[in-house]
Copies of this chain bind each other. A is one copy, B any other.
Amino acid sequence: MPTDDLSVTFAALADPTRRAILARLADGEATVNELAAPFEMSLQAISKHLKVLERAGLISRSREAQWRPCRLETEPLETATAWIEQYRDLARDRLDRLDQEIRKITQKKEGHDHE
């Protein structure tokens, strides 16, 4: 299993239960039981999912009496989008340049056709 930050972040996002938990947390803090409520699976399974999210830095947990409220942390989300966008943009630029080349060639050809 890769252990670099980006891999850990993407791996954490690669599960619908964990993404649903993050979506819920975008609305505000919640306890483990609250987060577990919508799902069929056991509380222990949710606890494990939270551990994965915490390890990825996507959530943080405090302590209030016997509750451990979770909150969303956006920093790894920034890093993840930054990575994706970098290569999306590079690919886009390259395609734009290709497109321009094709246009140039096509225009030249059309010019010759008309003369």
Contacts and interface: CB of A to CB of B under 8 A. Distances in A.
Interface range on chain A: under 10, 10 to 19, 20 to 34, or 35 or more?
A: 20 to 34
Q: Interface majority SS on A: helix, strand, loop or mixed?
A: helix
A90 B78 CA distance: 13
A26 B96 CA distance: 12
A38 interface: no
Interface in A1-54: 2, 4, 6-11, 13-16, 19, 22-23, 25-28
A95 to B, nearest CB: 9
Interface stretch (A62-70, A79-87, A104-112): A79-87
Given A27-B90, A77-B84, 20 more contacts: A2-B15, A4-B16, A6-B13, A6-B16, A7-B19, A10-B10, A10-B11, A10-B14, A13-B14, A14-B14, A19-B83, A26-B87, A26-B91, A72-B91, A74-B88, A74-B92, A77-B88, A80-B84, A81-B81, A81-B84
